């Protein structure tokens, strides 16, 4: 794929002013995304992955300060847009799917009304056309009897169905970029798999760029083209999904991968890996590698600035050690 990236993020930082000082929630994130690609942002709670996705949509709460050297969406500088221009983009060319299907739908309106809302808001279509599009998309996301569902209220639907409706809602205007913030965490495992397959299929069919925020590496392995591993507000490793899973370099990525059982490799009764310790506080000045307090190979030098190492064209990690391929950390 040699096309121009549709989304370019350069050195994105997000600061949250708090009573105890400034919380540096996200510190210098870079990535690029082309149409048809799926980028997974992986990290544990509080690593800044959700904030990053909100920042892309321009939905950060006002008190949070967001800066970037470049925030470019198909030639549009997202940082320079007026609130009105951002509203015109949101829901039309970029859409978002939220984590909680139970509260993401307004209980006061029917499914149909909510599906049609985005389309009516952004496109000069008639109600009948919007309705037809809503029925078409409900069918696409695998909801049977789509027509009769339009008149139902959210409380009449199960969690899996609601998440399908949310996906249909996000796709109403055929966005170029879709951001899914942990779309499957609130669902049970069998439904998770269905929803993920659905997302992946639709993404391929509509040739969208997709950002999937998750902390589930199993999900990542299944659908990602590119992976960004975040730890404490920083990208510790990024690269193609194949590189990350086959040749993880950064100790954190390796630790994460040891936490999941691999069919055929993990023997019965064997202990899974774990990463001791907790995420450090990001309030105040953060220097050096944020992972050093939990890292097995940490040394004194880790508190000085950390270089970015590039073992391949599509692979980078941030560590003071030049970690060779395959060596166990």
Partner 1 sequence: MARTIETVAEELRAPSPAAILRKRVFGHYGLVFGIAVLAVIVLIALLAPLLAGHDPYAQDLVARMKPPFWMEGSDPEHLLGTDHLGRDYLARLLYGARISLSIGLFAALISGLIGTAMGVAAGYFGGRVDLVVTFLINVRLAMPVVLVALAVVAILGGSLQVVVCVLGLLLWDRFAVVMRSSVLQVRDLEYVNAAKAIGCSTRRIILLEIMPNVVNNLIVVVTLEMAHAILLEAALSFLGLGVQPPTPSWGLMISEGKQMMLFEPWLIAIPGVALFVLVLAINLLGDGLRDVTAPENRG
What is the DSSP code string of 234-271? Answer: EEEEEEEHHHHHHS--SHHHHHHHHTS--TTTSPTTPP
Q: How far is the CA of 216 from the CAs of 65, 181, 221, 224, 252, in angstroms? A: 28, 12, 9, 12, 15
Q: Which of the ranges 117-125, 227-235, 286-294, 302-310 carries the binding residues for partner 1, by CB under 8 A? A: 117-125
Query: Is residue 60 within the footprint of partner 1 (CB under 8 A)?
Result: no
| Best CA proximity match to 211, nearest among 22, 47, 49 | 49
Q: Which of the ranges 13-21, 90-98, 211-219, 306-314 carries the binding residues for partner 1, by CB under 8 A? A: 90-98
Query: Is residue 50 within the footprint of partner 1 (CB under 8 A)?
Result: no
Q: Which of the ranges 135-143, 164-172, 187-195, 252-260 carries the binding residues for partner 1, by CB under 8 A? A: 164-172
Query: Is residue 158 within the footprint of partner 1 (CB under 8 A)?
Result: no
Q: Least distance from C-beta 106 to partner 1, angstroms?
A: 4
C-beta of residue 260 within 8 angstroms of C-beta of residue 266: no
Q: Least distance from C-beta 247 to partner 1, angstroms?
A: 36
Q: Which of 43, 46, 48, 91 binds partner 1 (CB under 8 A)?
A: 91
CA dist 59 and 87 (Å) reads 10
CB within 8 Å of 205: residues ≥ 6 apart: none
First to last CA, the chain: 33
CB within 8 Å of 319: residues ≥ 6 apart: 236, 249, 250, 251, 289, 306, 309
Q: Which of the ranges 113-121, 144-152, 220-228, 275-283 carries the binding residues for partner 1, by CB under 8 A? A: 113-121
Strand, coil or helix: what is 182?
coil
Query: Is residue 123 within the footprint of partner 1 (CB under 8 A)?
Result: no
Task: Give the nearer residue to partner 1 in terms of CB position, either 187 or 319.
Answer: 187
Query: Is residue 92 within the footprint of partner 1 (CB under 8 A)?
Result: yes
Q: Which of 30, 44, 100, 216 binds partner 1 (CB under 8 A)?
A: 100
* Beta pairing partners, 226: 39, 240
CB within 8 Å of 86: residues ≥ 6 apart: 58, 78
CA dist 186 and 201 (Å) reads 21
Q: Least distance from C-beta 96 to partner 1, angstroms?
A: 4
Which residue in this structure is represented by tokens 């919007």? Answer: 130
* Size of the chain, expressed as the number of residues it contains: 329
CA dist 70 and 15 (Å) reads 17
Query: Is residue 176 within the footprint of partner 1 (CB under 8 A)?
Result: no
The pairing of beta strand 21-33 with beta strand 7-18: antiparallel
Q: Which of 31, 98, 231, 291 binds partner 1 (CB under 8 A)?
A: 98
Query: Is residue 124 within the footprint of partner 1 (CB under 8 A)?
Result: no
Q: Which of 59, 69, 262, 272 binds partner 1 (CB under 8 A)?
A: 59
Q: Which of 38, 47, 99, 163 binds partner 1 (CB under 8 A)?
A: 99
Query: Is residue 95 within the footprint of partner 1 (CB under 8 A)?
Result: yes
Q: Which of the ranges 94-102, 124-132, 257-265, 310-318 carries the binding residues for partner 1, by CB under 8 A? A: 94-102
Query: Is residue 24 within the footprint of partner 1 (CB under 8 A)?
Result: no
Query: Is residue 14 within the footprint of partner 1 (CB under 8 A)?
Result: no
Query: Is residue 19 within the footprint of partner 1 (CB under 8 A)?
Result: no
Q: Which of the ranges 8-16, 144-152, 163-171, 214-222 carries the binding residues for partner 1, by CB under 8 A? A: 163-171
Query: Is residue 206 within the footprint of partner 1 (CB under 8 A)?
Result: no
The residue ranges that bind partner 1 (CB under 8 A) are 57, 59, 86-92, 95-96, 98-100, 103-109, 117-118, 121-122, 166, 169-170
């Amino acid at each position: 794929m040699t096309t121009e990236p549709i989304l370019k993020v350069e050195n994105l930082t997000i600061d949250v002013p708090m009573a105890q000082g400034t919380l540096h929630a996200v510190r210098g994130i870079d990535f690029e995304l082309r149409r048809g690609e799926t980028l997974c942002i992986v990290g544990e709670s509080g690593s800044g992955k959700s904030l990053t996705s909100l920042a892309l949509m321009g939905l950060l709460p006002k008190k949070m300060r967001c800066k970037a050297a470049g925030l470019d969406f198909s030639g549009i500088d997202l940082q320079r847009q007026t609130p009105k221009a951002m509203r015109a983009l949101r829901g039309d060319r970029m859409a978002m799917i939220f984590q909680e299907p139970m509260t993401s739908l307004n209980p006061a309106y029917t499914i149909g009304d909510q599906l049609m809302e985005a389309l009516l808001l952004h496109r000069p279509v008639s109600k009948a056309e919007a309705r037809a599009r809503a029925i078409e998309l409900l069918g696409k996301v695998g909801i049977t009897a789509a027509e009769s569902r339009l008149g139902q209220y959210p409380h009449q639907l199960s969690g899996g169905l609601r998440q399908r409706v949310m996906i249909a809602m996000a796709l109403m205007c055929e966005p170029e970029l879709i951001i899914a913030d942990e779309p499957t965490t609130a669902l049970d495992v069998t439904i998770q798999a269905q929803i993920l397959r659905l997302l992946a299929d639709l993404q391929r069919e509509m040739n969208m760029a997709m950002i999937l925020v998750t902390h589930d590496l199993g999900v990542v392995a299944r659908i990602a083209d590119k992976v960004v591993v975040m730890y404490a507000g920083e990208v510790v490793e990024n690269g193609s999904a194949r590189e990350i899973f086959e040749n993880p370099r950064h100790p954190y990525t390796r630790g994460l991968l040891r936490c999941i059982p691999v069919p055929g490799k993990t023997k019965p009764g064997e202990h899974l890996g774990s990463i001791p310790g907790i995420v450090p506080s990001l309030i105040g000045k953060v220097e050096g590698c944020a992972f050093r307090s939990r890292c097995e190979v940490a040394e004194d030098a880790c508190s000085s600035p950390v270089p970015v190492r590039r073992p391949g064209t599509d692979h980078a990690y941030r560590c003071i050690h030049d970690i060779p391929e395959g060596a166990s950390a």
